[in-house]
Structure 1
Amino acid sequence: MGKSVYAHIDCNNFYASCERVFKPDLRNKPIVILSNNDGCIIARSNKAKELGVEMGAPLFKQRDLITDKKICVRSSNYPLYGDMSRRVLQTLRHLTDKVEPYSIDEAFVELPKMTTKDLASFGQHIKSMIWQWTGLPVSVGIAPSKTLAKIANETAKGHPEYQGVLNLTDNVRLDSILEETQLTDIWGIGRGLSQRLHKENITNALQLKHQIDRRQWIRKKLHVTGLRTVMELNGQPCLDIEDTNEPRKGIMTSRSFGEAVTAADDLQEAVAQFISIAAEKLRAQQSVASLLHITLRTNKYSKYKSKYKYSIEYPLPAPTANTAYLIKCGHACIDYLYEKDLRYKKAAVMLTGIIPQSEVQKDLFNDAQYSAEQYQLMQKVDDINTKYGSDMAHFAATGFKQTWKMKQEHLSSKYTTSWDGLMEAQSS
């Protein structure tokens, strides 16, 4: 058996690239993506960066530049981005069963042993396959450890001569690349740790790599995680591909309101909607929850009251994933928290005390028990929404007008997650 080889796959300008997949006319245009309620700029295409658009800047401060340079503006479309991320992962799983999602636009994979003879070509194959199957551009870094694979990816992205793929396995340029890599560009090295290393005259990845013989000093100064990083820089893998399919221990749904909410009915609608989203995620991992947390926020900078966050924890009589019952409990929480004179800006719902549904003990005398009938009803609702589009079947408690919804004035269609967003052939 040969040594393990890892690849780091990173989608280039992910949010902007997702917008371009279904709008090819945007491929050569600068794009910016806005945060919730179209407040700030959270992502930029390369051309938008070159034109001077600032990351994190409020939209109103950049509006003149955006108008003058004819920059395309899009509201964040998370259903689209999440589905495109899932498609990239599905593509990778056709190549290997050892896939670790790292973020919405990144993943690590362990390459099959049979591919290790020509790694650069296989990296190009990964890149072209993802482009062909999803329309998203990616860069690929390949190395004998995950830390080196991430460095390889960043280097490939910054140097056109690599054509988006760099293999650092047995690469004669490895040390020169590490010498050009700043400490803060190493996976797992933050600003504080970087400052400590600078005091020891260690300023780049190559110098850190050469500390491998000072293991006792590394453990004392950098602890075990630092030792792992040094070993990984030397091509000794310490971080295996992780199984990320474990059920989540907490599920949260949180949104800012498009306009400040003052009416209790609107708050109840919003909380019912957020509970529905969280409960669907809960059922997707075959789990039930024992605790419901509700949080309401007002304007943090309001002079009316010093307090701006109002929370309650509601222990459920029995673990459940029944949306109807959770909404009923959520409304009880709103009745307790609501104050008439406050202007609410945001609400959050969190489900905790999560256990597998199969581990719930039956109780004939508990009316709140998650029954087989409730389970089947929820399963039917989820099946309809999976087949016909998100929120196709929903509880009336979530409202119809939903005047509290986020501002998304520049939202593109949900091309892959809603029937209404499907592209239509244009007649010639």
Structure 2
Amino acid sequence: MNIDPGSFNNRSSIVYAMIDCNNFYASCERVFNPKLEGKPIVILSNNDGCVIARSEEAKDLGIPMGAPEFKFRRFFKDNGVVVRSSNYPLYGDMSRRVMEVLRNLTHDIEVYSIDEAFAELSTQTYSDLNEYGRVIKQTIYQWTGLPVSVGIAPSKTLAKIANETAKRNLTYKGVLNLCNNPGTDQILKKMPLQKVWGIGHNLTIRLNRFDVNTAYDLKQKVDYKRWVRKHLNVTGLRTVLELNGLPCMQLSEALESRKGILTSRMFGKPLYDLTEIEEAVSTYISRAAEKLRAQHSLASNMQVTLIGDKFKNPKSKYKYGAYTSFKVPTAHTPTLIHAGKQITRSIHLPETKYKKAAIMLTGLVHNSEVQMDLFDPELYTRQQYTLMECIDQINTRHGRNTAAFAATGLHRKNNEAVDWKMNQNFLSKRYTTEWEDIMIAQAR
């Protein structure tokens, strides 16, 4: 279903929808393994450390966010909890598919996070917004297998409240429209102030002193603009107006480029050996360079940080870092790896046990805004640009690390243990991004 962009010429006919995937990580795991339906699922952080996502069944068991896996291991086993390592390639690809479906169903979208997006809807095109919300929900489920909730409202702030309400209240069946809805104020009266988009913890405490405890209380402040500006500033005034159905925030046309790119991982085991640490650092640099090129940027500076055990001796130094600057900004992975290995050798102490490494690229500039130097040997040449573009295309089409650099440990045999790689003992298959993991129908 495609929407005619011509129907969006009148801004007064525009309303907003917030589409949010329900329990996104757990739902992605269920798409390719239907046996997980109805079972409690928890997703662990890097290195299988702690819980970062839960299914509704896991929440009902009282499993808190951030629960350490080793402390809850017995509890998981006794209660039949399914444990999964973070499968970010799968989650990222499923997110891309959801956003593509939305682009076919709506005029314009703003990707808000990996599992959330705002969309513009036209009342001139669809007079029955409730039915339109159900079409969005059903189509996404049909095309991706992921359940979503849809909140529709005159403003983005109200759309988020509608989405949250539709997700928690089963009577709405995942779709709630607050446009000209007589029950809007009752919903706002039940919405705690701290759950209003843009109202943080500290601001909630301050507003509670003025008997502003719910979204409805804040909405009533629209007649006191001087009070709002004094206690909430201009951004707070926009929130108040949005709660009254007056849109102050339109969709962002594009995501802003990041000002810095950080790649950081815990090692699978503490490391002493310089060679293994260099492999880890080179791998993290390679991934950071991919992100750099994806936003069409070049880096002027790079910092490498090695992190030891801060609990072994709390009074001693446990972070060791240094940085380098490039005469000409670059996104050439071999150049970045060479500089990163030099920094690593300069800060590495043989008798120190390292648990983590971090790479930070800063001084980012768009690749069309670089002042080139004809005589600089570090120049990011057209040949280097073409090579990096070719490698990125290969890895996009055939899977990550199809083409990789030897410095990242490519020379190791597949069955050779690598101590710096993350522990992912509960990892599911990468069903959509690795050829060997693609599901194949079995003949009956």
Give the TM-score normalised by the residue count of structure 1: 0.97
Q: How does 1:50-89 map to 2 (within 5 A)?
A: 50-89=60-99
**In structure 2, what residue type is equivalent to 1:406?**
M
**In structure 2, what residue type is equivalent to 1:410?**
F
Is the CA contact 2:13–2:124 (under 8 Å) kept in the aligned structure 1? Answer: no
Q: Within the alignment, does 1:213 sit opposite 2:223 as a pair?
A: yes
Q: Which residue of 2 aligns with 1:278?
A: 288
Q: Within the alignment, does 1:404 sit opposite 2:414 as a pair?
A: no
Q: Which residue of 2 aligns with 1:233?
A: 243
173, 177, 188: which one pairs with 1:178? 188
**In structure 1, what residue type is equivalent to 2:60?**
E
- What fraction of aligned residue pairs are identical, expressed as a percent? 55
Q: 1:41-93 deviations in whole A, cap 9, x for unaligned?
A: 11111111112322211112212221111111100111111111111111111
Consecutive unaligned residues in structure 1, runs of 5 or more: none
Q: Which residue of 2 aligns with 1:316?
A: 326
Is the CA contact 1:3–1:144 (under 8 Å) kept in the aligned structure 2? Answer: no
Distance in 1 between residues matched to 2:52 and 2:310, nearest whole Å:
21
Is the CA contact 1:10–1:140 (under 8 Å) kept in the aligned structure 2? Answer: yes
Q: What's the offset of the Cα at 1:256? A: 0.7
Q: Within the alignment, does 1:189 sit opposite 2:171 as a pair?
A: no
381, 386, 404: which one pairs with 1:394? 404
Q: 1:95-141 deviations in whole A, cap 9, x for unaligned?
A: 23421111111111111343441111111111111111111100000
Q: What's the offset of the Cα at 1:304? A: 7.3
Is the CA contact 2:162–2:177 (under 8 Å) kept in the aligned structure 1? Answer: yes
Q: How does 1:270-309 map to 2 (within 5 A)?
A: 270-303=280-313, 306-309=316-319
Is the CA contact 2:14–2:121 (under 8 Å) kept in the aligned structure 1? Answer: yes
Q: Which residue of 2 aligns with 1:169?
A: 179
**In structure 2, what residue type is equivalent to 1:355?**
V
Q: What's the offset of the Cα at 1:37? A: 0.9
Q: What's the offset of the Cα at 1:357? A: 1.3
Q: Within the alignment, does 1:33 sit opposite 2:43 as a pair?
A: yes
Is the CA contact 1:298–1:346 (under 8 Å) kept in the aligned structure 2? Answer: yes
Local SS of the residue matching 1:84: helix
Distance in 1 between residues matched to 2:357 and 2:123, nearest whole Å:
49
**In structure 2, what residue type is equivalent to 1:421?**
D
139, 147, 156: which one pairs with 1:146? 156
Is the CA contact 1:5–1:116 (under 8 Å) kept in the aligned structure 2? Answer: no
Distance in 2 between residues matched to 1:338 and 1:417, nearest whole Å:
36
Distance in 2 between residues matched to 1:394 and 1:115, nearest whole Å:
49
Mean CA deviation greater in 306-315 or 148-157: 306-315
Provide the aligned length of Structure 1 versus Structure 2: 428
**In structure 1, what residue type is equivalent to 2:74?**
D
Local SS of the residue matching 1:114: coil
Distance in 2 between residues matched to 1:245 and 1:221, nearest whole Å:
30
Q: What's the offset of the Cα at 1:378? A: 1.1
Local SS of the residue matching 2:426: coil
Is the CA contact 2:154–2:179 (under 8 Å) kept in the aligned structure 1? Answer: yes
Distance in 1 between residues matched to 2:362 and 2:314, nearest whole Å:
32
Q: Which residue of 1 aligns with 2:101?
A: 91
Q: What's the offset of the Cα at 1:243? A: 2.6
Distance in 2 between residues matched to 1:270 and 1:86, nearest whole Å:
28
Q: 1:134-171 deviations in whole A, cap 9, x for unaligned?
A: 11100000000011001001111111111100000000
Is the CA contact 2:107–2:121 (under 8 Å) kept in the aligned structure 1? Answer: no
Q: What's the offset of the Cα at 1:285? A: 2.0
Change (3 A) 1:268 1:57: same
Give the TM-score normalised by the residue count of structure 2: 0.94
255, 269, 282: which one pairs with 2:265? 255
Change (3 A) 1:205 1:304: closer
The list of structure 1 runs, each at least 4 consecutive aligned residues, that deviate by more than 6 angstroms after superposition, is none
Local SS of the residue matching 2:182: coil
Q: Which residue of 1 aligns with 2:434?
A: 418
Q: What's the offset of the Cα at 1:373? A: 1.2
Distance in 2 between residues matched to 1:123 and 1:312, nearest whole Å:
52
